Copies of this chain bind each other. A is one copy, B any other.
Amino acid sequence: MTEAKRRIVILTEGLSNPINAKTAVSVIRYRTEEVVAVLDSTVPPQTTQRLFNVGGNIPVVPTLAHVPAADTLLIGIAPQGGKLPQAMRAAVLQAIQRGMEIQNGLHEFLSDDPEFAAAARQHNARLVDLRRNDEHDVARRQNLRPDCLRVHTVGNDCCVGKMVVAIEVTHGLKAHGVDAKFLATGQTGILIEGHGCPVDAVVSDFVNGAVEKLVLAHQHHEVLLIEGQGSLIHPAYSAVTMGLLHGCAPHALILCYEMGRTHVNGLDHIPLLPLDQLIALYHTVANVAHPCRFIGVAINSRRVSDAQYREERARVERELNLPACDIFRDSAAPLVEAVQSLRTASCN
Protein backbone atom coordinates (compact mmCIF):
# COMPACT_ATOMS: atom_id res chain seq x y z
CA MET A 1 0.00 0.00 0.00
CA THR A 2 1.75 3.17 -1.13
CA GLU A 3 1.52 6.33 0.94
CA ALA A 4 1.48 8.66 -2.09
CA LYS A 5 -2.01 9.75 -3.10
CA ARG A 6 -3.48 7.43 -5.68
CA ARG A 7 -5.95 8.30 -8.43
CA ILE A 8 -8.42 5.44 -8.17
CA VAL A 9 -11.10 4.26 -10.58
CA ILE A 10 -13.48 1.85 -8.87
CA LEU A 11 -14.86 -0.91 -11.09
CA THR A 12 -18.43 -2.00 -10.29
CA GLU A 13 -19.44 -3.06 -13.83
CA GLY A 14 -23.05 -4.28 -13.81
CA LEU A 15 -23.14 -4.55 -10.00
CA SER A 16 -23.69 -0.96 -8.84
CA ASN A 17 -26.08 -1.79 -6.00
CA PRO A 18 -25.44 -1.26 -2.27
CA ILE A 19 -24.94 -4.96 -1.45
CA ASN A 20 -22.64 -5.97 -4.31
CA ALA A 21 -20.80 -2.66 -4.48
CA LYS A 22 -20.27 -2.25 -0.75
CA THR A 23 -16.51 -2.08 -1.24
CA ALA A 24 -16.97 0.78 -3.73
CA VAL A 25 -19.33 2.66 -1.45
CA SER A 26 -17.00 2.47 1.55
CA VAL A 27 -13.84 3.36 -0.35
CA ILE A 28 -15.68 6.39 -1.82
CA ARG A 29 -16.83 7.34 1.68
CA TYR A 30 -13.48 7.03 3.46
CA ARG A 31 -10.98 7.62 0.63
CA THR A 32 -12.99 10.29 -1.20
CA GLU A 33 -9.98 12.40 -2.12
CA GLU A 34 -8.32 9.48 -3.92
CA VAL A 35 -11.30 8.36 -6.02
CA VAL A 36 -11.51 9.93 -9.48
CA ALA A 37 -14.39 7.87 -10.91
CA VAL A 38 -16.57 4.77 -10.76
CA LEU A 39 -16.57 2.58 -13.88
CA ASP A 40 -19.84 0.90 -14.90
CA SER A 41 -20.91 0.88 -18.55
CA THR A 42 -24.36 -0.49 -17.65
CA VAL A 43 -25.66 2.63 -15.87
CA PRO A 44 -26.16 6.16 -17.29
CA PRO A 45 -23.40 8.69 -16.60
CA GLN A 46 -24.17 10.40 -13.26
CA THR A 47 -22.48 11.24 -9.97
CA THR A 48 -21.65 8.64 -7.34
CA GLN A 49 -23.78 10.75 -5.00
CA ARG A 50 -26.78 9.91 -7.19
CA LEU A 51 -25.78 6.26 -7.72
CA PHE A 52 -24.57 5.36 -4.21
CA ASN A 53 -25.63 8.34 -2.09
CA VAL A 54 -22.00 9.12 -1.31
CA GLY A 55 -19.04 10.89 -2.94
CA GLY A 56 -20.49 14.22 -4.14
CA ASN A 57 -19.52 15.01 -7.72
CA ILE A 58 -17.31 11.99 -8.37
CA PRO A 59 -18.43 10.83 -11.85
CA VAL A 60 -19.65 7.40 -12.92
CA VAL A 61 -18.07 6.74 -16.34
CA PRO A 62 -18.75 4.09 -18.99
CA THR A 63 -15.13 3.47 -20.11
CA LEU A 64 -11.62 3.76 -18.81
CA ALA A 65 -10.86 6.23 -21.62
CA HIS A 66 -12.92 8.82 -19.71
CA VAL A 67 -10.35 8.91 -16.88
CA PRO A 68 -6.90 9.15 -18.46
CA ALA A 69 -5.27 10.40 -15.23
CA ALA A 70 -6.30 7.38 -13.15
CA ASP A 71 -3.38 5.22 -12.03
CA THR A 72 -5.22 2.57 -9.99
CA LEU A 73 -8.15 0.29 -10.79
CA LEU A 74 -9.90 -1.04 -7.70
CA ILE A 75 -12.31 -3.97 -7.98
CA GLY A 76 -15.26 -2.47 -6.08
CA ILE A 77 -17.42 -5.49 -5.42
CA ALA A 78 -17.65 -8.22 -2.77
CA PRO A 79 -19.66 -11.11 -4.25
CA GLN A 80 -20.41 -14.38 -2.44
CA GLY A 81 -17.64 -16.81 -3.37
CA GLY A 82 -15.31 -14.00 -4.38
CA LYS A 83 -14.95 -14.67 -8.09
CA LEU A 84 -14.26 -12.00 -10.72
CA PRO A 85 -17.39 -11.58 -12.89
CA GLN A 86 -16.75 -12.29 -16.57
CA ALA A 87 -18.11 -8.82 -17.42
CA MET A 88 -15.21 -7.21 -15.54
CA ARG A 89 -12.37 -8.95 -17.37
CA ALA A 90 -12.21 -6.51 -20.30
CA ALA A 91 -11.87 -3.45 -18.06
CA VAL A 92 -9.26 -5.15 -15.87
CA LEU A 93 -7.24 -6.09 -18.94
CA GLN A 94 -7.46 -2.55 -20.35
CA ALA A 95 -6.26 -1.13 -17.05
CA ILE A 96 -3.34 -3.56 -17.00
CA GLN A 97 -2.48 -2.60 -20.57
CA ARG A 98 -2.39 1.02 -19.42
CA GLY A 99 0.13 0.03 -16.77
CA MET A 100 -2.25 0.81 -13.91
CA GLU A 101 -2.05 -0.83 -10.50
CA ILE A 102 -4.96 -3.21 -9.91
CA GLN A 103 -6.27 -3.50 -6.34
CA ASN A 104 -8.21 -6.73 -5.96
CA GLY A 105 -9.93 -7.93 -2.81
CA LEU A 106 -11.61 -11.01 -4.32
CA HIS A 107 -10.81 -14.59 -3.35
CA GLU A 108 -9.84 -15.15 -7.00
CA PHE A 109 -6.30 -13.82 -7.34
CA LEU A 110 -5.53 -11.82 -10.47
CA SER A 111 -1.86 -12.75 -10.28
CA ASP A 112 -2.88 -16.43 -10.65
CA ASP A 113 -4.75 -15.66 -13.90
CA PRO A 114 -2.40 -16.47 -16.82
CA GLU A 115 -3.84 -13.77 -19.10
CA PHE A 116 -3.71 -11.04 -16.47
CA ALA A 117 -0.30 -12.11 -15.19
CA ALA A 118 1.20 -12.10 -18.69
CA ALA A 119 -0.32 -8.71 -19.51
CA ALA A 120 0.92 -7.29 -16.20
CA ARG A 121 4.47 -8.44 -16.95
CA GLN A 122 4.30 -7.00 -20.46
CA HIS A 123 2.92 -3.62 -19.37
CA ASN A 124 4.69 -3.38 -16.02
CA ALA A 125 1.37 -3.22 -14.17
CA ARG A 126 1.19 -4.18 -10.49
CA LEU A 127 -1.45 -6.74 -9.46
CA VAL A 128 -2.28 -6.43 -5.75
CA ASP A 129 -4.30 -9.37 -4.39
CA LEU A 130 -5.33 -8.12 -0.95
CA ARG A 131 -6.61 -11.46 0.30
CA ARG A 132 -3.39 -13.34 -0.45
CA ASN A 133 -1.80 -14.38 2.83
CA ASP A 134 0.41 -17.02 4.34
CA GLU A 135 -0.90 -17.06 7.91
CA HIS A 136 0.45 -20.04 9.82
CA ASP A 137 0.28 -19.03 13.47
CA VAL A 138 -2.04 -20.73 15.94
CA ALA A 139 -3.75 -18.72 18.66
CA ARG A 140 -2.65 -19.23 22.27
CA ARG A 141 -4.78 -16.62 24.04
CA GLN A 142 -1.80 -15.27 25.90
CA ASN A 143 -0.19 -11.86 26.42
CA LEU A 144 -3.38 -9.88 25.81
CA ARG A 145 -3.01 -6.53 27.61
CA PRO A 146 -5.87 -5.98 30.07
CA ASP A 147 -5.57 -2.19 29.72
CA CYS A 148 -6.20 -2.24 25.98
CA LEU A 149 -9.97 -2.33 25.50
CA ARG A 150 -11.06 -4.66 22.71
CA VAL A 151 -14.41 -3.77 21.13
CA HIS A 152 -15.75 -5.95 18.33
CA THR A 153 -18.63 -5.24 15.93
CA VAL A 154 -20.80 -8.26 15.20
CA GLY A 155 -23.96 -8.65 13.15
CA ASN A 156 -26.98 -10.71 12.30
CA ASP A 157 -25.81 -11.02 8.70
CA CYS A 158 -23.32 -9.89 6.04
CA CYS A 159 -23.49 -6.32 4.74
CA VAL A 160 -25.20 -4.70 7.72
CA GLY A 161 -22.52 -2.15 8.64
CA LYS A 162 -20.01 -3.89 10.94
CA MET A 163 -17.05 -2.19 9.25
CA VAL A 164 -18.46 1.33 9.08
CA VAL A 165 -19.61 1.16 12.69
CA ALA A 166 -16.09 0.17 13.80
CA ILE A 167 -14.62 3.01 11.74
CA GLU A 168 -17.11 5.65 12.92
CA VAL A 169 -16.73 4.70 16.58
CA THR A 170 -12.94 4.88 16.14
CA HIS A 171 -13.30 8.39 14.65
CA GLY A 172 -15.64 9.42 17.45
CA LEU A 173 -13.24 8.20 20.14
CA LYS A 174 -10.31 9.95 18.47
CA ALA A 175 -12.33 13.18 18.40
CA HIS A 176 -12.56 12.81 22.18
CA GLY A 177 -8.80 12.40 22.45
CA VAL A 178 -8.83 8.64 22.93
CA ASP A 179 -6.03 6.65 21.30
CA ALA A 180 -8.40 4.38 19.37
CA LYS A 181 -7.45 2.16 16.43
CA PHE A 182 -9.63 0.50 13.78
CA LEU A 183 -8.50 -3.05 12.98
CA ALA A 184 -9.52 -4.09 9.48
CA THR A 185 -10.40 -7.75 8.92
CA GLY A 186 -11.81 -7.64 5.38
CA GLN A 187 -10.85 -6.45 1.93
CA THR A 188 -12.68 -3.11 2.15
CA GLY A 189 -11.39 -2.26 5.59
CA ILE A 190 -7.87 -3.11 4.48
CA LEU A 191 -8.25 -0.84 1.43
CA ILE A 192 -9.41 1.99 3.69
CA GLU A 193 -6.99 1.52 6.60
CA GLY A 194 -4.03 0.46 4.49
CA HIS A 195 -3.43 -2.74 6.44
CA GLY A 196 -5.23 -5.48 8.38
CA CYS A 197 -5.94 -9.20 8.12
CA PRO A 198 -8.11 -10.76 5.39
CA VAL A 199 -9.54 -13.30 7.84
CA ASP A 200 -11.95 -14.96 5.44
CA ALA A 201 -9.02 -15.91 3.19
CA VAL A 202 -6.93 -17.44 5.98
CA VAL A 203 -6.71 -21.24 6.24
CA SER A 204 -9.21 -22.21 8.93
CA ASP A 205 -6.68 -23.68 11.40
CA PHE A 206 -4.99 -20.27 11.54
CA VAL A 207 -7.93 -17.83 11.57
CA ASN A 208 -8.00 -17.42 15.36
CA GLY A 209 -4.21 -17.10 15.32
CA ALA A 210 -4.11 -14.50 12.55
CA VAL A 211 -6.65 -12.35 14.40
CA GLU A 212 -4.84 -12.75 17.71
CA LYS A 213 -1.60 -11.68 16.03
CA LEU A 214 -3.32 -8.59 14.62
CA VAL A 215 -4.57 -7.67 18.10
CA LEU A 216 -1.21 -8.31 19.78
CA ALA A 217 0.50 -6.05 17.24
CA HIS A 218 -1.78 -3.11 18.02
CA GLN A 219 -2.55 -3.35 21.73
CA HIS A 220 -0.33 -0.37 22.54
CA HIS A 221 -3.47 1.64 21.66
CA GLU A 222 -6.05 2.38 24.36
CA VAL A 223 -8.99 0.99 22.42
CA LEU A 224 -9.16 -1.40 19.47
CA LEU A 225 -12.26 -1.44 17.27
CA ILE A 226 -12.15 -4.80 15.56
CA GLU A 227 -14.22 -5.14 12.39
CA GLY A 228 -16.62 -8.09 12.40
CA GLN A 229 -17.32 -10.48 9.50
CA GLY A 230 -20.35 -12.56 8.55
CA SER A 231 -22.42 -13.77 11.49
CA LEU A 232 -22.58 -16.73 13.87
CA ILE A 233 -25.84 -17.74 12.19
CA HIS A 234 -24.64 -17.47 8.59
CA PRO A 235 -24.72 -20.91 6.89
CA ALA A 236 -21.58 -20.15 4.88
CA TYR A 237 -19.49 -17.83 7.02
CA SER A 238 -20.00 -18.80 10.67
CA ALA A 239 -16.49 -20.30 10.80
CA VAL A 240 -14.99 -16.93 9.88
CA THR A 241 -17.13 -15.12 12.46
CA MET A 242 -16.19 -17.63 15.15
CA GLY A 243 -12.45 -17.44 14.50
CA LEU A 244 -12.60 -13.67 14.56
CA LEU A 245 -14.65 -13.57 17.76
CA HIS A 246 -12.41 -15.99 19.64
CA GLY A 247 -9.21 -14.66 18.08
CA CYS A 248 -9.82 -11.10 19.26
CA ALA A 249 -11.38 -12.15 22.61
CA PRO A 250 -13.30 -8.90 23.00
CA HIS A 251 -14.28 -7.12 26.21
CA ALA A 252 -17.30 -5.61 24.48
CA LEU A 253 -19.55 -6.19 21.49
CA ILE A 254 -21.64 -3.85 19.37
CA LEU A 255 -24.52 -5.52 17.54
CA CYS A 256 -25.12 -4.36 13.95
CA TYR A 257 -28.24 -5.17 11.97
CA GLU A 258 -30.33 -3.84 9.12
CA MET A 259 -34.00 -2.94 9.62
CA GLY A 260 -36.36 -4.80 7.33
CA ARG A 261 -34.06 -7.71 6.64
CA THR A 262 -35.80 -10.94 7.60
CA HIS A 263 -33.60 -13.61 6.00
CA VAL A 264 -29.90 -14.18 5.39
CA ASN A 265 -28.74 -12.10 2.44
CA GLY A 266 -29.00 -14.25 -0.69
CA LEU A 267 -30.42 -17.24 1.22
CA ASP A 268 -34.16 -16.61 1.41
CA HIS A 269 -34.80 -19.97 3.12
CA ILE A 270 -32.72 -19.04 6.18
CA PRO A 271 -34.59 -16.73 8.59
CA LEU A 272 -32.60 -14.38 10.82
CA LEU A 273 -32.85 -14.72 14.60
CA PRO A 274 -34.70 -12.18 16.78
CA LEU A 275 -32.17 -9.71 18.22
CA ASP A 276 -32.52 -10.89 21.81
CA GLN A 277 -31.77 -14.49 20.80
CA LEU A 278 -28.87 -13.34 18.65
CA ILE A 279 -27.42 -11.35 21.54
CA ALA A 280 -27.73 -14.38 23.81
CA LEU A 281 -25.93 -16.54 21.24
CA TYR A 282 -23.03 -14.11 20.76
CA HIS A 283 -22.82 -13.52 24.50
CA THR A 284 -22.53 -17.24 25.21
CA VAL A 285 -19.95 -17.86 22.49
CA ALA A 286 -17.85 -14.74 23.18
CA ASN A 287 -17.65 -15.47 26.90
CA VAL A 288 -15.88 -18.74 26.13
CA ALA A 289 -12.87 -16.62 25.15
CA HIS A 290 -13.08 -13.66 27.54
CA PRO A 291 -15.62 -11.98 29.85
CA CYS A 292 -17.62 -9.90 27.42
CA ARG A 293 -20.88 -8.00 27.13
CA PHE A 294 -22.88 -6.01 24.60
CA ILE A 295 -22.57 -2.24 24.98
CA GLY A 296 -24.69 -0.98 22.10
CA VAL A 297 -26.67 -1.59 18.94
CA ALA A 298 -26.01 -0.08 15.50
CA ILE A 299 -29.18 0.10 13.45
CA ASN A 300 -28.81 0.24 9.68
CA SER A 301 -32.02 2.01 8.63
CA ARG A 302 -31.24 2.77 5.00
CA ARG A 303 -34.41 1.15 3.70
CA VAL A 304 -36.94 2.74 6.07
CA SER A 305 -38.40 6.15 6.87
CA ASP A 306 -37.11 8.38 9.61
CA ALA A 307 -40.26 7.76 11.65
CA GLN A 308 -39.86 4.00 11.35
CA TYR A 309 -36.24 4.31 12.44
CA ARG A 310 -37.10 6.48 15.49
CA GLU A 311 -39.71 3.95 16.58
CA GLU A 312 -37.30 1.05 16.11
CA ARG A 313 -34.54 2.80 18.01
CA ALA A 314 -36.84 3.47 20.97
CA ARG A 315 -38.05 -0.13 20.95
CA VAL A 316 -34.53 -1.56 20.77
CA GLU A 317 -33.23 0.69 23.55
CA ARG A 318 -36.17 -0.27 25.73
CA GLU A 319 -36.27 -4.01 25.03
CA LEU A 320 -32.53 -4.69 24.92
CA ASN A 321 -31.56 -2.05 27.48
CA LEU A 322 -28.69 -0.86 25.28
CA PRO A 323 -27.94 2.45 23.54
CA ALA A 324 -28.88 2.27 19.85
CA CYS A 325 -28.41 4.48 16.80
CA ASP A 326 -28.02 4.63 13.04
CA ILE A 327 -24.48 6.03 12.76
CA PHE A 328 -25.27 7.82 9.48
CA ARG A 329 -28.82 9.01 10.13
CA ASP A 330 -27.85 10.24 13.60
CA SER A 331 -24.21 9.76 14.58
CA ALA A 332 -22.07 7.18 16.36
CA ALA A 333 -22.13 9.31 19.54
CA PRO A 334 -24.21 6.88 21.66
CA LEU A 335 -21.80 4.05 20.81
CA VAL A 336 -18.77 6.24 21.44
CA GLU A 337 -20.23 7.13 24.83
CA ALA A 338 -20.84 3.44 25.55
CA VAL A 339 -17.16 2.68 24.94
CA GLN A 340 -16.16 5.67 27.10
CA SER A 341 -18.40 4.43 29.91
CA LEU A 342 -16.79 1.02 29.74
CA ARG A 343 -13.32 2.61 29.91
CA THR A 344 -14.33 4.61 32.97
CA ALA A 345 -15.82 1.52 34.61
CA SER A 346 -12.65 -0.50 33.90
CA CYS A 347 -10.44 2.17 35.49
CA ASN A 348 -12.43 2.24 38.71
**Is A88 part of the contact surface with B, judged by Cβ < 8 Å?**
no
Cα distance, A251 to B235, chains bound together (Å): 16
Stoichiometry, as copies per complex, reads 2
**Is A246 part of the contact surface with B, judged by Cβ < 8 Å?**
yes
Cα distance, A135 to B312, chains bound together (Å): 41
Assess the B199–A204 pair: CB atoms within 8 A: yes
**Is A208 part of the contact surface with B, judged by Cβ < 8 Å?**
yes
Assess the A243–B204 pair: CB atoms within 8 A: yes
- A281-302, CB < 8 A from B: 281, 284-285, 288-289
Q: What B residues does A236 contact at CB under 8 A?
A: 138-140, 205, 208-209
Q: What B residues does A247 contact at CB under 8 A?
A: 239
Assess the A235–B204 pair: CB atoms within 8 A: no
**Is A207 part of the contact surface with B, judged by Cβ < 8 Å?**
yes
**Is A201 part of the contact surface with B, judged by Cβ < 8 Å?**
yes
Bitwise, A238-259 to B at CB < 8 A (1) or not (0) is 1111111011000000000000
Q: Count the A residues whose beta carbon is within 8 Å of the partner chain — how many?
A: 46
Return the contact of A203 from the options B107, B267, B284 (Cβ within 8 A): B107
> Chain B nearest CB: distance from A218 CB in Å?
19
Contact flag A239-B237 (CB < 8 Å), given A202-B204, A205-B82, A269-B142 = no
Assess the A208–B107 pair: CB atoms within 8 A: no
Q: What B residues does A7 contact at CB under 8 A?
A: none
Assess the A138–B80 pair: CB atoms within 8 A: yes
Q: Which partner residue on chain B sits nearest A281 by CB separation?
A: B284
Assess the B107–A205 pair: CB atoms within 8 A: yes
Assess the A208–B289 pair: CB atoms within 8 A: no
Assess the A138–B81 pair: CB atoms within 8 A: yes
- A111-166, CB < 8 A from B: 136-142
Return the contact of A243 from the options B81, B142, B199, B238 (Cβ within 8 A): B238
Q: What B residues does A137 contact at CB under 8 A?
A: 81
Assess the B243–A239 pair: CB atoms within 8 A: yes
**Is A24 part of the contact surface with B, judged by Cβ < 8 Å?**
no
Cα distance, A89 to B200, chains bound together (Å): 32
> Chain B nearest CB: distance from A167 CB in Å?
22
Cα distance, A240 to B206, chains bound together (Å): 9
Cα distance, A297 to B277, chains bound together (Å): 28
**25 pairs of residues in contact across A and B, judged by CB atoms under 8 Å:** A81-B137, A81-B138, A82-B205, A107-B205, A138-B236, A141-B235, A141-B269, A141-B270, A199-B204, A200-B204, A202-B204, A203-B204, A204-B239, A205-B240, A208-B236, A208-B238, A232-B242, A235-B289, A238-B242, A238-B288, A239-B243, A242-B242, A242-B243, A281-B284, A281-B288
**Which A residues lie at the B interface, using CB under 8 A?**
80-83, 107, 136-142, 199-205, 207-209, 212, 232-233, 235-244, 246-247, 267, 269-270, 273, 281, 284-285, 288-289
